[in-house]
Amino acid sequence: MPFPVSLLLQPSSPLLFSLSYPSPPSSSSSSSSSSSFRSHLRLAAISSLRPMRRRGRRSPNLVARPAAAAGDSEPSVAAADDKRVAPDLQTLLRRFWKVAAPYWSSEDKVQARLRLAAVFALTLGTTGISVGFSFLGRDFYNALANKDQEQFTKQLLYYLGGFAGGIPFFVLRDYARETLSLRWRSWMTSYYMQRYFKNQTFYKIQSQSIIDNPDQRIVDDLSSFTGTALAFSLTLFNAAVDLISFSNILYGIYPPLFVVLLVYSLGGTAISVFLGKDLVSLNFMQEKKEADFRYGLVRVRENAESIAFYGGEGNELQLLLERFRRAFENLSQLLIASRNLDFFTNGYRYLIQILPAAVVAPMYFSGKIEFGVINQSVSAFNHVLSDFSLIVYQFQAISAFSAVIDRLGEFNDILDESQPSIIAEHDSKEEINILFKETTSSLSSNGSVPHAEFQKLLEIQNLTLETPKSRNVLITDLSLEINNRDHLLVMGPSGSGKTSFLRALAGLWSSGHGNIIFYVKTGRQPQTSSAGTGSSEPMNSLKIDELQRPKNRRAGGVFFLPQRPYMVLGTLRQQLLYPTWTEDTCLPSDERRNSGNLPFLCQVSPSLDIPDKPEMPTVDDLVRVLEAVRLGDILSRFNGLDSIYEWSSVLSLGEQQRLAFARLLLAKPNLALLDESTSALDDANEAHLYRQIKTAGITYISIGHRTTLYKFHKRVLYISKSDSPDSGGRNWHLESINPKTTLEEAASPY
């Protein structure tokens, strides 16, 4: 009679499958959740080899260079590039909890918990089926050994019936787990993105190089995390249930076998932890280096024209190959570490396979047990071994998962509002205050709005502006007021701090001290509660409410036009609506339910919303505004408003600047900050655009070098380099512009 152990050692054997449904006894505790866990983690470990997992589009504005996270042990960015100290177990567990927990108490918690319960129930079902098959296998081989044909046929039919009934459990368990993982990932993606964009954190992360590749963490790490965490939990659960079920069987057959197995697996776990200790940091660095390489390629795509003009392809190729070389070297080290661990893991796995049959066979020969019990003991032994050896078998996968937890935990800590110090620009408590005062226009007794011309829009009090971190003083003790239509031109030598002044007004920089107060017209009647003044008296003049910290600069009716306009990915209509309106791309709620879409993917954070914004422009409005900025022809050139192009490539810089003015005219802000936003335009177009915004009643502060700008402004603020202050430490002076000043007379003041 052939002994089936040799068959058991061949994973491809169909007999082996039948004995230990649904997976080979030599590999795991019959748990496909375990193998799924392994495959999830493998994906993370060898993500470089799986382009399918890396296809998310990257934003052009993300972190280019690596950086050390605050609070980490790396002394410098450079050091962080090549070394990474693996976090201790406590930090990893804390980070895992902080990343994993929020979803299960979120607005989707009911669905989440129900689905999780279903997955666990199905997993329990599959373990029960495995146990059942262990007994079926025993009886099957007993019938075979006893040459009992009738019993054999019966067992065969049971077997087939068991398969037919069991397969749906396994398939549905995997499907339920994958769909739950996808739902969790969707929620997490929305949650992380909302926090990433909140309070302009994306800008702070980028401008201060706080962490590397946040985009990769959102796209890849979140996906790996949710898939793996779920599979890992199920693997643990499955292993626990499996252990209880099969320990009983094994212990019942021969107790010493159970004790040997326990000692063997504990020793194996300790050795694999020792051998694989470098894998976590190597996996972390692999994620980072792959992301750096991919980001380099995206930058080439985004800057294709500039690189082509420079003829810089040779340098680019060199730089990119260098990035790939770093990823390759790290992956080589990772493969060597994995190989060394594999030597041990494989030896560990197969060395002991013969043991149960060898130990139990004498009992069979002496007639104490039947032949089928040998099979059952081998099967139970492998189940218990796999359960006890979870760490040994999954060590590489666990280390890859630890790297994912580490990267996400670090990101989570940065986004966590409870730790604002991480993204503070400076250590000092002193900072520039940006405040909003609500001004409510009420009609006077004769029906007119009083003092509209002199309505204050902006007040700057004793502003001293410094660069972040390095704290070089750019502007000293600046005070000025901007009233309605009191257009201001800011001039000064290159590097003197003109753009930084606008950054301070926009709230992007806060290093320094002083107050910036925006006066916001609400158009509402005075209210008693929200502003907090407690007064409900109607007023015949401007009413100024309490100072409030702004939630969002745009909420205060301030609009910024940078020198190089930003073109969003999308249609011409979306270019025009940006950033004031977004087109709702979500389906109506009932359709959404039917199509299984997720409501949290359609949410817009309240902090990104703008109160009192103008009505969404109609098509006629959009066409009119294009004509107003002399861009009417692009409608026919690009087939209307709904065509999609790479707008930053197909429009000239001057055309992009005119498009930016179209956005401004549609948004109708109280105050516009224009940073050399007509620098690419000819004089005629520049004059035309300034006339347009003046007619629209928009007050503006412009930065510019050209003397042609004088005639569109009432005053000019000259900022000189802070190392050559004029007098009394101040490096600025303010002058009125004489409307009669001719271009010839307006000599450059610096």
Ligand X SMILES: Nc1ncnc2c1ncn2[C@@H]1O[C@H](COP(=O)(O)OP(=O)(O)OP(=O)(O)O)[C@@H](O)[C@H]1O
Which stretches of the chain bind ligand X, using CB under 6 A?
207, 467-468, 470, 474, 492, 494-500
Residue 26 and residue 349 in contact, taking contact as beta carbons nearer than 8 Å: yes
Distance CA 315, CA 313 (A): 5
Smallest distance, Å, CB 703 to ligand X? Answer: 7
- Which CB, 409 or 497, lies closer to ligand X? 497
Distance CA 300, CA 442 (A): 55
- Which CB, 165 or 495, lies closer to ligand X? 495
Other beta carbons within 10 Å of 390: 23
> Read out DSSP for 60-81?
TTS--S--PPTTSS-SSHHHHH
Smallest distance, Å, CB 663 to ligand X? Answer: 22
- Which CB, 24 or 497, lies closer to ligand X? 497
Smallest distance, Å, CB 495 to ligand X? Answer: 4
Smallest distance, Å, CB 688 to ligand X? Answer: 24
Smallest distance, Å, CB 500 to ligand X? Answer: 3
- Bond into 579 cis (ω within 30): yes
Distance CA 409, CA 643 (A): 40
- Which CB, 137 or 497, lies closer to ligand X? 497
Residue 11 and residue 24 in contact, taking contact as beta carbons nearer than 8 Å: yes
Smallest distance, Å, CB 667 to ligand X? Answer: 24
- Which CB, 360 or 709, lies closer to ligand X? 709
Q: Strands of 507-590 (E only): list them.
A: 512-521, 543-548, 558-561, 570-571
- Which CB, 499 or 731, lies closer to ligand X? 499
- Which CB, 12 or 494, lies closer to ligand X? 494
Smallest distance, Å, CB 713 to ligand X? Answer: 17
Tokens describing residue 745:
């007379």
Smallest distance, Å, CB 705 to ligand X? Answer: 7
Maximum pairwise Cα distance, the chain: 119
N residues, the chain:
750
Smallest distance, Å, CB 522 to ligand X? Answer: 32
Tokens describing residue 420:
């604002």
User: Which of 517, 544, 539 lies closest to 463, judged by CA?
Assistant: 517
What is the identity of the amino acid at 90? Q
Helices (H), 70-148: 77-82, 89-104, 109-145
- Bond into 606 cis (ω within 30): no
Smallest distance, Å, CB 211 to ligand X? Answer: 17
In eight-state DSSP terms, residue 423 is G
In what helix (H) or strand (E) does residue 628 lie, and over which residues does it extend? helix 619-628
- Which CB, 260 or 508, lies closer to ligand X? 508
Please report the sign of the dihedral spanned by the C-alpha atoms of residue 261, residue 264, residue 267, residue 270: negative
Residue with tokens 């993500």: 47
- Which CB, 25 or 468, lies closer to ligand X? 468
Buried b (16+ CB within 10 A) or exposed e, 569-582: ebbbbbbbbbebbe
Residue 675 and residue 562 in contact, taking contact as beta carbons nearer than 8 Å: yes
- Which CB, 90 or 470, lies closer to ligand X? 470
Smallest distance, Å, CB 494 to ligand X? Answer: 3
What separation in angstroms does the CA of 657 have from each of 188, 199, 631, 651, 678? Answer: 37, 26, 11, 10, 6
Give φ, ψ of 348 to 5 degrees. -60, -40
- Which CB, 497 or 617, lies closer to ligand X? 497
- Which CB, 495 or 532, lies closer to ligand X? 495
Smallest distance, Å, CB 468 to ligand X? Answer: 5
Residue with tokens 């996808």: 182
What is the identity of the amino acid at 699? T
Residue 312 and residue 296 in contact, taking contact as beta carbons nearer than 8 Å: no
- Which CB, 492 or 669, lies closer to ligand X? 492
Smallest distance, Å, CB 207 to ligand X? Answer: 5
DSSP 3-state of 472: coil
- Which CB, 238 or 499, lies closer to ligand X? 499
What separation in angstroms does the CA of 433 have from each of 6, 165, 203, 429, 467? Answer: 77, 68, 19, 11, 15
Other beta carbons within 10 Å of 539: 14
Tokens describing residue 292:
């750096």
Distance CA 560, CA 518 (A): 14
